[in-house]
């Protein structure tokens, strides 16, 4: 007693497929065939597109400022003071911009 059907050749499978579509009302069968093919194509597209989504971003190159090896402490302090002055100027400008926004929106 065989549990599985006997193996058949591709030629026999194609003849069986053609016989099913030759008999009777084909509207429902064509709709089912179309949906099956459409779902299969969608699944294949998802498999091909998915590896390109949410991949790791390319490495970001960060360039650092190179200093002369013979810098003196006075040069370092002068650079730090210049950087601090620039940071404070940026902070004051940002504060001025927020004050203008505060006046426009009527926030007190």
**pLDDT tens for each residue of 34-89:** 999 999 999 999 988 887 777 777 889 988 878 888 889 999 999 999 999 999 99
Rounded to two decimals, the pTM is 0.38
Q: For residues 62 and 65, what is the distance between their CA atoms, to the nearest angstrom?
A: 10
Q: For residues 65 and 79, what is the distance between their CA atoms, to the nearest angstrom?
A: 12
User: 21 near 29, Cβ under 8 Å?
Assistant: yes
Q: For residues 45 and 37, what is the distance between their CA atoms, to the nearest angstrom?
A: 12
């Amino acid at each position: 007693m065989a549990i599985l059907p006997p193996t058949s050749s591709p030629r026999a499978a194609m003849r069986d497929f053609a016989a099913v579509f030759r008999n009777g009302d084909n509207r429902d069968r064509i709709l089912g065939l179309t949906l099956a093919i459409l779902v299969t194509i969608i699944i294949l597209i998802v498999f091909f597109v998915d590896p390109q989504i949410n991949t790791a971003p390319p490495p970001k190159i960060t360039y650092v400022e190179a200093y002369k090896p013979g810098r003196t402490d006075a040069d370092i302090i002068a650079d730090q003071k210049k950087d601090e002055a620039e940071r404070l100027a940026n902070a004051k400008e940002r504060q001025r911009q927020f004050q203008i926004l505060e006046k426009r929106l009527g926030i007190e």
